[in-house]
């Protein structure tokens, strides 16, 4: 007989958290008027809990990060991007809410780089360098002052509610999982942010 495998504490904690979310989901779906929305929100919470638990234990998944981001923007009211469209659909979908979400994410990254020792000007210049010209156009980021404005609008304790604020808070949560280097953040932007905003 195989000996019982002992799971690490973080995996046990994740199992308990997912079980808790499943129980809350079932109860909420029974009571909610919009059952699909409640189902989507709790499913997203389970994905996010899994991603964060993996990240805190040095297990990175860009694909899981992108999936969480895509589902959240749909939950916020955006149309699906190309990643979640059924095969065969070719017309473009609005990206306004996704753009707001990513403005909040970039604002959180700028704030994080400041906390790591850069001046405000240096931090926003670093963030600008992560955006190719095509992305700056989509984001409306003609200068570093735009990122300052995003941080003022969505950051801090009293940022404006909406997709931008949600993106800021989610990025803060991800950044809190470890001490991200410039190289790791650059890779995150290139692998996970840019494809979502560049594809129809």
Cα 104 to its chain centre, rounded Å, is 9
Distance CA 91, CA 107 (A): 30
- CA-CA distance, 193 to 106, in Å (whole number)? 10
Kindly state the average pLDDT of the residues 35-53: 82
- How far is residue 134's CA from residue 35's CA, in Å, rounded to a whole number? 39
Angle subtended at Cα 97 by Cα 96 and Cα 101, rounded to the nearest 5 degrees: 120
Q: pLDDT digits over 56-97, tens only?
A: 888 877 778 878 877 887 777 777 777 776 665 444 444 677
Cα–Cα distance between 168 and 100 in angstroms, integer?
10
Higher pLDDT pick, 98 / 114: 114
The SS3 of residue 85 is coil
59 three-class SS: coil
pLDDT at 161: 84
190: its two tokens: 């290139």
pLDDT of 77: 75
**Which of 25-34, 37-46, 108-117, 124-133 bottoms out in mean pLDDT, i.e. has the lowest?**
25-34
Question: In angstroms, rounded to a whole number, what is the distance separating the alpha carbons of residues 76 and 40?
Answer: 11
The answer to whether residue 122 scores a pLDDT higher than 80 is: yes
The tokens describing 78, both together, are 């955006």
SS3 72: helix
The answer, yes or no, to whether residue 112 has pLDDT greater than 90, is: yes
What local confidence, expressed as pLDDT, does residue 74 receive?
A: 78
């Amino acid at each position: 007989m195989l000996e019982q495998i002992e799971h690490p504490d973080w995996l046990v904690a994740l199992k308990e958290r997912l079980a808790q979310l499943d129980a809350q989901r079932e109860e909420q779906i029974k009571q909610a008027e919009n059952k699909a929305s409640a189902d989507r929100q709790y499913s997203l919470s389970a994905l996010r809990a899994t991603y964060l638990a993996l990240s805190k234990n040095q297990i990175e998944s860009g694909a899981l990060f992108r999936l969480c981001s895509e589902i959240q923007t749909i939950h916020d009211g955006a149309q699906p991007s190309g990643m979640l469209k059924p095969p065969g659909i070719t017309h473009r979908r609005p990206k306004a809410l996704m753009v707001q979400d990513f403005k909040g994410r970039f604002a959180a990254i700028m704030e994080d780089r400041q906390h790591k020792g850069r001046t405000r000007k240096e931090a926003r210049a670093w963030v600008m360098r992560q955006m190719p010209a095509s992305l700056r156009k989509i984001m409306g980021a003609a200068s570093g002052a735009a990122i300052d404005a995003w941080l003022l609008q969505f950051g801090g304790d009293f940022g404006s509610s909406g997709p931008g604020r949600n993106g800021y808070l989610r990025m803060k949560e991800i950044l809190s999982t470890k001490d991200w280097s410039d190289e790791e953040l650059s890779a995150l932007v290139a692998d996970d942010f840019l494809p979502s905003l560049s594809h129809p």
